[in-house]
Structure 1
Amino acid sequence: MKKETEQLWASEKYTVMAKGYNFYKEVQGLIRDAQSDSDYKKVRLLIGVLKEKPYERRALCNTLEHVWGYFKKSAEELDKEHFFSLLNTLRESDEEYYDEIPYEIDLFLQYLLQKYPSDYLSRSTFIQN
């Protein structure tokens, strides 16, 4: 159960982080302290609950900056400019919560992942496939 939960967390951590950084820290702490199958089951259930919450704009921006770290060394300047243009538009938005990642951002993340492959990010639910 431990290995499966850690794999689940690896695939869901950026999605949870984008819902709220406090949720990310909560799950991270629960995994760190988990010792029994019951503890890991609670973590898995909590991740399921958190995935249903809306994205919070500030947390989403923070998560996007984290994800950018996977691309920043190899990305072309034009891709960098476009990414940060999208990020700044999101930051300036009046919307506080989103049911899904804004379409343009989601599409551009997919483009980045295809152009600059990352095995780790390809397993993440944050970048829709």
Structure 2
Amino acid sequence: MKERGYIERLWREEKYRVLAHSKQHYDEIRELLKQDPSYATVKDKIDEALTITPTTGSTINAFDHMWGYFKNKATANEKEQYLTLKRQFQNKQIDASLIQQFLKNMAEEYEVQYLINSTALYK
């Protein structure tokens, strides 16, 4: 595999985790990928993003992006469950790991390989 392939795989795996930490870094990396960056440059930018403590808002943003894979497939019960978990997380009643587990279960149930390969759910 050429370096560009490794870079694209790295980004596929890390993008939602980066988004949960820093929307700014997420946007910067997306712009960087339009050029011809080295693997090391992209990896360094990802590592830099991951040093930023996620906020409730940035975490919800990443979860909502992942939920987008299911919103047209999910049952009414699954949609309600997601919204309830999200509301509880926003109100600091539950930890993010419960939404993570829910999305992980959804990814497996609906066989969404893109999310199954994501470090946001599987790390």
Q: TM-score range by the shorter chain?
A: 0.7 to 0.9
Q: Which letter does structure 2 place at the counterpart of 1:16? A: V
Residue aligned with 1:10, SS: helix
Q: How high is the TM-score relative to the length of structure 1? A: 0.82
Write out aligned runs for 1:7-86 (5 A): 7-35=9-37, 37=38, 40-86=39-85
Matches of 1:110 and 1:119, distance apart in 2? 11
Structure 2: stretches of 5+ with no match in the other structure: none
Distance 2:4 2:108 in 1: 31
The alignment yields a C-alpha RMSD, in angstroms, of 1.9
1:5-52 residue CA offsets vs partner (Å, 9 max, x unmatched): 1110011001001112111001111121235x3xx3211112123224
For these two proteins, the number of residue pairs brought into alignment is 120
Moved more, 42-51 or 59-68: 42-51
Q: Which amino acid in structure 1 is aligned with residue 122 of structure 2?
A: Q
The 10-residue stretch of structure 1 (24-33 or 40-49) with the greater mean CA deviation from structure 2: 40-49
SS in 1 for 2:111: coil
Identity %: 28
5+ residue gaps, structure 1:
95-100
Deviations 1:97-126 (A, max 9, x none): xxxx72211221122112211011111111
Q: Distance in 1 between matches of 2:75 and 2:34?
A: 37
